[in-house]
Amino acid sequence: MSNEAKLELDGKTFTLPTITGSEQERAVDVSSLRANTGYITLDDGYGNTGSCVSKVTFIDGDKGILRYRGIPIEELAEKSNFIETAYLLIYGSLPTRPQLKTFSDLLAEHQFLHEDMKYHFQGFPTGSHPMAILSSMINAASCFDEGLMHWQFGKMKQFDIYVAKLISQVRTIAAYSYRKSQGLPLIYPKQSYKYTPNFLHMLFSMPYEEFDIKPEVAKALDLIFLLHADHEQNCSTSTVRMVASSQANLFASCAAGVCALWGPLHGGANQAVLEMLADIHSSGDDGSKFITAAKDKNSGKKLMGFGHRVYKNHDPRATIIKKSCDEVLSRLNISDPLLDIAKKLEEAALKDSYFVERKLYPNVDFYSGIIMRAIGIPVEMFTVIFAIGRMPGWIANYKEIMEEPKSRIYRPRQIYTGKTINSYVPLDQRK
């Protein structure tokens, strides 16, 4: 394997170093390109550009491989849980029993928001989208914390406390965002509950009646959090890194990640999938009309939950979620016509040359919404669930930037295609 690349430009030959990762991925290091050649690279959508080296997650899109710190997602889904996996992603190895206890105790200690945050929730109109509330309230929460307001990037002795605060409070803020959007009273976290059951409690209990938390429901939701926990340099994680590179504090960087995740091409896809299935169902279409429309560029429709920038084979998370979907619905004795439509769409698409030629397969969002609907999560909360799950991955990436001594601010270049030199025209002379 070559450790350098030759580049012929304007009759000259330039040598660029290459880098090989621990999984034999290779890159041409173009850090010196502009200084040596005056050229920059251009890569629409960054499909061919690595923004960093990272030790957190590895994906092989052709083989459908996803590993957190080297552990296959299938093993973690079967044997681990969300909080243990969050620790693995952030600190690099599975926690020992004492480490897990310390982490869990920190999460419990920091699960309450400052009481005055309630007044901020009151400011949102009923019906506000919970993702808008979530992103703004993560930043609002930092206003109640001296350490976040005077963040000393890289010198945070108490960084672990801020990790626990953010993971714990994002869940409390999310639950409150839902309650606020429904005009319901806020339900406080219960000290005796573990992370995911506590979230269900805050979402669905009432002041006079505790929600009956079924173990299979808590387990299914915990699995969804775990499967969403990290995914290399996706749109929202790259956003977190971009903001972190300016040395903004942890809460501000992850609040930016929430905004990026909201888009329907990214984390908003799970909500878009359910809306797509519901539209197909209400129109009486068996899915075939929709598939035809999704192949027509002029229709403005896409088969939401299908396709992926990296996976050109199956998304291993979709396989796990589809299995969990069948299990949860049969255990809860629910038959959902939208699941039947989803399965028909998947079957049809996997045989259709348009999708096969473009290597479009179901991604993590295709079935996750059906489980969330079955366990009672409202559709406008689907992307919030994704954000709670992705928080450990965002934090792990923030930590990598903070701990990298040579970390530089992210500042991509561009190729300008606008007007060349122009001059000011006084108002009364403009046509």
Give the residue numbers marked as catalytic: 308, 365
Which helix (H) or strand (E) covers residue 28, if one does? strand 26-28
Nearest C-alpha neighbor of 57 from the set 406, 404, 412, 390: 390
- Smallest distance, ligand SDX to C-beta of residue 315, A: 7
The CA-atom distances, in angstroms, between 92 and each of 88, 108, 236, 397, 414 are 5, 22, 21, 11, 35
**What distance in Å separates the CA atoms of residue 243 and residue 229, rounded to the nearest whole number?**
19
Q: Which is nearer to ligand SDX, 202 or 377 (CB)?
A: 377
Which helix (H) or strand (E) covers residue 18, if one does? strand 12-20
Q: Which is nearer to ligand SDX, 45 or 405 (CB)?
A: 45
Is-contact 189 112, C-beta < 8 A? yes
- Max CA-CA distance within the chain? 79
Q: Which is nearer to ligand SDX, 23 or 116 (CB)?
A: 23
Is-contact 315 367, C-beta < 8 A? no
- Smallest distance, ligand SDX to C-beta of residue 48, A: 12
Q: Which is nearer to ligand SDX, 190 or 344 (CB)?
A: 344
Q: Which is nearer to ligand SDX, 217 or 318 (CB)?
A: 318
Two tokens at 291?
């598939």
Q: Is 115 exposed, middle or buried (0-12, 13-18, 19+ CB in 10 A)?
A: exposed
- Smallest distance, ligand SDX to C-beta of residue 33, A: 25
- Smallest distance, ligand SDX to C-beta of residue 337, A: 21
- Smallest distance, ligand SDX to C-beta of residue 236, A: 6
Q: Which is nearer to ligand SDX, 25 or 210 (CB)?
A: 25
- Smallest distance, ligand SDX to C-beta of residue 322, A: 15
Q: Where are the alpha helices (DSSP H) in 182-287?
A: 195-204, 215-227, 235-244, 250-261, 269-283
Q: Which is nearer to ligand SDX, 194 or 266 (CB)?
A: 266
**What distance in Å separates the CA atoms of residue 405 and residue 154, rounded to the nearest whole number?**
9
Comparing every residue's Cβ against ligand SDX, the nearest one is 307
Is-contact 123 158, C-beta < 8 A? no
**What distance in Å separates the CA atoms of residue 165 and residue 146, rounded to the nearest whole number?**
13
**What distance in Å separates the CA atoms of residue 385 and residue 175, rounded to the nearest whole number?**
10
Q: Where do we find the tokens 């429901």? A: 217
- Smallest distance, ligand SDX to C-beta of residue 355, A: 7
**Residues at the site binding ligand SDX, with contacts judged by CB under 6 A:** 45, 231, 234, 265-266, 269, 294, 302-310, 358, 360, 363-365
Q: Is 416 exposed, middle or buried (0-12, 13-18, 19+ CB in 10 A)?
A: exposed
